[in-house]
Chains A and B, each alone.
Chain A
Amino acid sequence: MAATYESIATANGDGSTPYIQFSSIPSTYTDLVLEIAHQANAGEYIDMRFNGDTASNYSYGDVGGNNSTAYASQSVNQSQFIWSGTPGSTGQVAYTVFNIQEYSNSNYYKSLISLGGYQAETRVHILRGLWRGTATINTIRIYTNGGGVAWSTNTTMTLYGIKAA
């Protein structure tokens, strides 16, 4: 039986490059799962774009807990996803798993849902996101919110494809 849940690619931070990009993503799967173990300087959130789109086509929100405080947030008409509250500080690694459903379906915009935990900020949260594009996602760029700050060598990102029957 062909693999249903398959690793597409793995990339590691090199300590000098400010982003990691998955390109030429095959369109043959149903969903994508992006697992990120990330570390940079403290306060470096994950920013993310699909297909190089820099227009205001992104919106997102989250709900979570930070120590004893629960919270929810929302942002609209953004030029990228900014998954705030996801810093991986020096010496600590933060973990986030993104589920990107129906990434190659042209009938609707692309929705994603995610879980993340970050001991450096004592935070755990659930993320939702929408990219208002109907094109197949063939590129995912993940970069630090600080722009020129590099992902450390302790950063690992793996992209999986899930194929439905």
Chain B
Amino acid sequence: MPILGIIASQQPGHIATGSFESIQTISGAASSYTFSSIPQTYKHLQLRITWQNATADQDMFIWFNGVNTGTSYANHVLQGSTSGTQAAYGNSNLPKWETMYDGNNAGSTTYPKVGVLDILDYSSTVKNKTARLLWGADYNGAGMAALGSALYRSTSAITSVSFQPFSTSFGANTKIALYGIKG
């Protein structure tokens, strides 16, 4: 007899097959991660981030196609930390995208920062590229919830995506998974 409130635990809903594919996963201790030679056969990309550091770090950098100098990036953020502490800001003409900033340097081995990064129309050769990052971290007394966007001013198809912590390295249990979404 099913327990009240437990409903259809094995009854599938709509199954999404074939449109959302795992491309590559990078994990482990490293100074940076780069996804290279990204197939150009999808419509959009999604990267799912679980960032764990052995020591705290304030944020990370993201860049595309090896471009991490110059002025090709801009970003905007809506974020909130403790009660009553919310902010919105933006920057332009950046050498790379700086994001997942919580200001507390509180990342640790047991409190991962998590994020979902969407890159739309990544293979277009007629559009500049837009990315959106939904991310958060909670340390039971501090933390951040944020939604950020970034502009990469280039009409080149994105063939690589790189991640690097601000001042430390990715911890052994960090994982970033790249997925392709078919249109």
Contacts and interface: CB of A to CB of B under 8 A. Distances in A.
Given A4-B21, A126-B146, A72 B112 contact: no
Given A63-B86, A72-B81, A130 B5 contact: no
A10 B4 contact: no
B20 interface: yes
Interface stretch (B22-30, B61-69, B119-127, B161-169): B22-30
Decide if the interface of chain A is mainly helix, strand, loop or mixed. strand
Interface in A86-127: 99, 101-102, 105, 107-109, 111-113, 115, 126-127
Given A19-B5, A71-B86, A111-B136, A63 B80 contact: yes
Interface residues of A, number: 61
5 contacts: A1-B18, A9-B12, A61-B82, A126-B80, A126-B147
Interface of A: 1, 3-12, 14, 17-24, 30-31, 59-64, 70-74, 76-77, 99, 101-102, 105, 107-109, 111-113, 115, 126-130, 132, 134, 141, 143, 158, 160, 162-165
Interface of B: 3-25, 48-50, 52, 78-86, 88, 109-116, 134-141, 143-147, 173, 175, 177, 179
